[in-house]
Structure 1
Amino acid sequence: MILVIILFTTAIFLVLGVSVWVLIKEIFTVRVPPPIRQRVKFHILHYFFQLTIALGNVLEKMKLCSMPRFFCFLQDLLVSKNNFGVLVKNLHFGTIPVRLFQPKTTSSGPRRGIIFYHGGGCMFGGLDCYHNLCSYLASETDSVLLSVGYRKLPDHHHPIVYQDCLNATIHFLKELKTYGIDPEQVVISGESIGAGAAAIIAQALLDRKDLPKFRAQVLINPVIQGINFQLPSYQQYPNAPFLSRKFLVTCVCKYLAIDLSWMDDMLKGTFIPPDNWKKYKKWLSSDNIPQRFKSQGPQPESPGPFNEAAYLEINHIFNLEVSPLLADDKTIAQLPETLLVSNEYDVLRDDSILYKKRLEDQGVPVTWCHLEDGFHGCIMLFDKKALSFPCSHKAMSSTVSFIKGIK
């Protein structure tokens, strides 16, 4: 009994200590972007986000539970699902869990189809976490939507996310008639790492003659490349709320099974061979970023002095299954009409800008929604009422409007 009391007391003091440490850090080091007027609300959300990660890291160091599992447990526990008037079915395509959202009303003909891959840096997120976003999209666009619950960290590494999303997509595309979907009206979409997966799969399936072609792709703050971490957005917002540069690169390293000791080489670009940079600079360079997105003064540029050892450890980051921005012009030119949603206060901002230029240079129609007051993941708060932000509604309304406008 005494041992139990000691353990319980220790646990309470540990939680309190971590909570106070995170609170002090939030108050004195976190900068709320100026356009966001609801500063207190923003700080509260960010505080609990960071507290969850900090407590998860403590549990992981104590070998009680991995940080991603702890985060996902709390995330799913707090989710309040809203079906927005659509029918929801949980299915499995082989071993891959998926969730189907179908409008209840009858339709005079086949409906539009949407395939959605969730975000979360391969650590967080899931079918439950993105349930409301998906059900709302299906309801507002009168579409049949498939959400893919791919496997993720800590148990599964590259290329599992890509393979799960690809296999689920192929299975769905072969069964469109079963779900009452028009094969000429299929939209592939995703958020964050899920948007990166959408971009990869849209490229991978271009030559498949046995499958319907995608009518459009919707990429919401996508992860498009893992090579140039010295783009202006990475320099301007290294401590961006909800996705700092360090946390992003940590997620990339863990998913790609790259030892964290190579993080500094990744940030400085020393793993990039001179010949590779010469080949890809025209697509990856900060020169492609409009001046209005750059700070005054000299801009850092990749790569640093070449480190061959780092290249041998990290070179798989050049694969198209990781960095779809590196696809050749012929591939890019065949991609469907695209919506790109980017946030100003997001390290991934410039990834969207680079991909936008690549698509437009090859004649692909692009609709760009840039949220001047946006931050990473803000679309997830679109239905959270008191916890929502104007940028959350703008991101969602732009997505709905684009999809409804597809003919």
Structure 2
Amino acid sequence: MELVPSLWALALSLSVGTLGWLLVWGVYYNVTRTHLPPDLKQRTKLRWITFLQNVLMALALGIEKLGVCNRYKIWQLIFNGIPPLGDSGLIIKDLRFDEVPVRMYRSKSQPSKKSRAIVYIPGGVGLLGSISAYERVCRFIARESEFVVVSIGYRLAPEHLYPVPLLDCCTAVAHFLKHAADYGVDPNHITIAGDSSGGTFAAAVCQRLTARKDLPRVQAQVLIYPFLQAVDFNLPSYQQNHSVPPLFKKRAVKLGLTYLTGMRKHVRCLMKNAHVTRDLQAKYQKWVSADLIPDEFKARGYVPMELPPFCEALHSLYEKGFDPMFSPLLAEDEILRQLPKTFILTCEYDVVRDDGLLYKKRLEDNGVPVTWCHIKDGFHGTAFFIDYGLFELEISHRSLKPLIQFLEDL
């Protein structure tokens, strides 16, 4: 009889000990490995959000080690967040486009026919993104614009590795373009959008659609702080912002590698560009190079780095990363020339900032009209916190306002 209370006491002590360790680790990580630039607004709130994020991610890792489930299941739950309350001004429906789950948002004040629409692809590096996670973003766009919004619930890695999540997006978009009139949408006024890896997917989907002459042409693409290349992880933005939350350089590379291969091997070598052959480096130099980044974006520091010794094992593992489907910046000019008008948003304190700058240059060089918005005090993930109550950030509205203006001007 005395054994049961003893077991409860042991479990309680372990729980308290684990929580204490997580809190100590979170404080240590926040102080020693996290850099918040001085001109960021709401620094205290962002510091607390980062602390909570790091503690929860560490907790997920501990649960994985106990054999309960893999860390990504827990991270997905964290990323989904707290469901928002109902929105009386919107009609929200869950549908399937060729078996791909989607959620459609329409303002009750919109006409039932010939509406314009935006397909929004959630971010999350193909591992975490979901309709639920981007519920607030999509509701905001639907409320603030005259657009029907469609969010895609693609399958996730590591169970479904690249290119499965992207192909789900291609399937859903093609279905919508083909059957738009059935949903009260003008098929000639559809925009493809996404943020972070959702921006990657949006860019890749639009490139892939250039070969589909059987479908209506996409009106525009919207790329919000997108990841666009896996050639150079030492561009100025990677060097300057490697420890700025929430997307640290090492975390970005780890997550991208997991989405691509299901493994997290050779991360340090990958961050040094050891996966790039000399031939590939020479081939892509004209598109992916710090020399193409305006000097104003090097002012906070940049040190050119020599390529490390080439790693054949890493190259073989990561070779698919050079596919334009994974790295849209590497598409040929003949593809880029066919792309629609484009909105690109970049943030100064974002590791993938320079991907957006390089893609902007390539599109403009190929005659594609580009509307560029740069948030000088922005960081990766700013849009995610829109309408998030206690966690909402002022910069979220400031980041999405130019997007709404771009949509209104189409």
TM-score range, shorter chain: over 0.9
**Which blocks of at least 5 consecutive residues in structure 1 are unaligned?**
none
Secondary structure of the residue aligned to 1:197 is helix
Give the SS at the match of 1:282: coil
1:40 is aligned to 2:44: yes
Aligned partner letter, 1:16 = G
Which of 65, 70, 76 pairs up with 1:66? Answer: 70
* Contact 2:236–2:297 under 8 Å retained in 1: yes
CA contact (8 A) 1:200 1:321 kept: yes
Q: Distance in 2 between matches of 1:89 and 1:126?
A: 15
- 1:180-206 CA-to-partner distances (Å, cap 9, x unmatched) read 111111100001001100000000011
Q: Which moved more, 1:264-273 or 1:44-53?
A: 264-273
In terms of mean alpha carbon deviation, does 71-80 or 11-20 score higher?
A: 71-80
Q: Is the 8 A contact 2:228 2:329 kept in 1?
A: yes
1:68 to 1:85, Cα distance in 2 relative to 1, 3 A: same
Contact 1:325-1:355 at 8 Å conserved across structures: yes
CA distance in structure 2 between the partners assigned to 1:298 and 1:187 by the alignment: 36
1:227-251 Cα deviation digits (max 9, x unpaired): 1101001011111210000000001
- Counterpart of 1:299 (choices 303, 317, 330) is 303
Query: Equivalents in 1 of 2:213, 2:281: separation in Å?
Result: 34
* CA deviations over 1:225-279 (Å, ceiling 9, x no partner): 1111010010111112100000000011111116433222321112211111111
Where does 1:151-230 land on structure 2 (aligned, <5 Å)?
A: 151-230=155-234
Q: Which residue of 1 aligns with 2:357?
A: 353
Distance 1:55 1:296 in 2: 34
Deviation at 1:297, TM superposition (A): 6.7
Matched, 1:379 2:401: no
- Letter paired with 1:65: C
CA distance in 2, matches of 1:170, 1:228: 32
Q: Counterparts in 2 of 1:22-33, with a 5 A limit?
A: 22-33=26-37
Aligned partner of 2:26: which letter? Answer: V
Structure 2 partner of 1:90: 94
Unpaired segments of 5 or more residues in structure 2? Answer: none
Aligned partners of 1:74, 1:307: CA distance in 2, in Å? 35
- Once the two structures are overlaid, the 10-residue window that deviates more, 327-336 or 311-320, is 311-320
C-alpha separation in 1, matches of 2:77 and 2:15: 19
Q: For 1:273-292, list aligned pairs within 5 A.
A: 273-292=277-296
Q: How does 1:306-345 map to 2 (within 5 A)?
A: 306-345=310-349
SS at match of 1:284: coil
SS in 2 for 1:224: coil
Q: Which amino acid aligns with 1:18?
A: L
Indicate whether 1:76 and 2:80 are aligned: yes
Task: After superposing the two structures, state which structure 1 stretch, 188-197 or 157-166, moved more.
Answer: 157-166
**Structure-2 change in CA distance of 1:93 and 1:245 (3 Å):** same
Provide TM-score, normalisation by structure 2: 0.94
Query: 1:271 is aligned with what amino acid?
Result: H
Q: Which has the higher contact order (CA 8 A, sep 6+)?
A: 2
Deviation at 1:149, TM superposition (A): 0.7
Report if aligned partners of 2:120, 2:192 keep a CA contact under 8 Å in 1. Answer: yes
| 1:235-254 equivalences in 2 (<5 Å) | 235-254=239-258
Q: Cα 1:100–1:238, aligned 2, differ >3 Å: closer, same or farther?
A: same
CA contact 1:238–1:246 (8 Å) conserved in 2: yes
SS state of the match for residue 147, structure 1? strand
State the superposition RMSD in angstroms: 1.8
Q: Which moved more, 1:201-210 or 1:308-317?
A: 308-317
Q: Aligned AA for 1:140?
A: E
Deviation at 1:93, TM superposition (A): 2.7
C-alpha distance after superposition, 1:359-393 (max 9, x if no partner): 01111111111111111111112223553333211
Scaled by the length of structure 1, the TM-score of the pair is 0.95
- Partner deviation per Cα, 1:42-66 (whole Å, 9 max, x = no partner): 1111111111111111111111122
The one-letter code sitting in structure 2 at the alignment partner of 1:223 is F
Q: Contact (CA 8 Å) 1:285, 1:301: kept in 2 or not?
A: no
Cα distance change on mapping 1:135 and 1:291 into 2, 3 Å: same
| Structure 2 contact 158–262 (Cα < 8 Å) conserved | no
Of 345-354 and 16-25, deviating more is 16-25
Q: Return closer, same or farther for 1:162/1:298 CA change in 2, 3 Å cut-off.
A: closer
Distance 1:242 1:277, change over 3 A: same
Identity value in percent:
35
